[in-house]
Amino acid sequence: MADWAAREGWQPGVGDIDAFYATDPAGFFVGTLDGELAAMASVVTYSPGYAFAGFYIVREDLRMQGLGHAIGDVVYREVGFDDVIVGGDGVPAQVATYEGLGFELAYWTDRWGGDPVGITAALVDHGVVAPLDMSGVMRERVHAFDTLHVPAPRPAFVDAWYAAHPDRQSFVVMNGDEIAGMATVRPAIPDGARVGPLFARDAKTAAALLRACADVARPWIAEHGGQLFLDVPAPHSAGVDLAQRAGMAPGFRCARMYRGGLPRLPLDQIYGNTTFELG
């Protein structure tokens, strides 16, 4: 599924699919035709009232034959969309299709990409960023801070996402005993690196986190090529300004949509969404 998403240009992060699967092993669906994979979709349930749909792909040579609707009908029956808020990211060409399924546009998200060397040089080193350690009381703080920025608590996902991993690095900025910001960076498939989420209470904290992530990504990208990517909600002017100051440029765009009601989120603190694939 991650490979198919990479071929679509979504560039999943290394280890992302493992965190999603650990959160909801029953949330992944595939359709086969003549014994071969033909379509896929996921709806990962983060909590009893909130789920996120992603990996909705039909094999390129089989498109426009109704296979997407076929797997969508199965997912609808299995997950029970009427009982939960369901989020999703739609490419521009499919927004009307998702609206026909009851999804409502919340905002556009732009993928910003740039050279990590230039990003590191452009942003000030505030010296306040530390590696994130999920042990002890920090785990509770991370859960609470994440919940502030998403429609509902997602405890299993947070534990899996921030678990120690040789190819992933997470950072935190503290203000006394409270988290002021946190971010994760990891290599992307097939190349480059991804930052997400990047949640911060102010632009200074966000810049410090982005710089730390860029510094980690430099050797990866020097070896494998690509850019450092950050998915910024378009209405967040300070997030857009940060990406511009870092010398990044916008590229791929998706529509963040929800079915079952639009959640009220602090977009002014969301400098980077977790992923396009699954929220």
Residue ranges per domain, the chain? 2-107, 110-252+265-272
- What CATH fold (topology level) applies to the domain 110-252+265-272? Aminopeptidase (3.40.630)
- Say if residues 68 and 76 touch (Cβ distance below 8 Å): no
Nearby residues of 36 by Cβ (< 8 Å), 6 or more positions away: none
- What CATH fold (topology level) applies to the domain 2-107? Aminopeptidase (3.40.630)
Three-state SS at 137: helix
Please, is 247 exposed, middle or buried when counting C-beta atoms within 10 Å of its C-beta (0-12, 13-18, 19+)? middle
| pLDDT at residue number 93 | 87
| pLDDT at residue number 266 | 97
CA atoms within 13 A on the CB side of 24: 20
| pLDDT at residue number 22 | 92
How far is residue 99 CA from its own chain's centroid? 21
Largest CA distance in the chain: 59
Tokens 């999804």 -> residue: 103
| pLDDT at residue number 277 | 76
Over residues 83-101, the pLDDT tens digits come to 789 999 988 988 988 898 8
| pLDDT at residue number 101 | 82
| pLDDT at residue number 119 | 97
pLDDT in tens for each of the 279 residues of the chain?
A: 888 888 887 778 999 989 999 999 999 999 999 999 999 999 999 998 899 988 888 998 888 888 888 988 888 888 777 778 999 998 898 898 889 888 999 999 999 999 999 999 999 877 799 999 999 999 999 999 999 999 999 999 999 999 989 999 999 999 999 999 999 999 998 889 999 999 999 999 999 999 999 999 999 999 999 999 999 999 999 999 999 999 999 998 999 999 999 999 999 999 999 988 777
Question: DSSP state, 244?
Answer: H
Instruction: Choose among 141, 148, 151: nearest CA to 172.
Output: 141
Domains 2-107 and 110-252+265-272 share a fold: yes
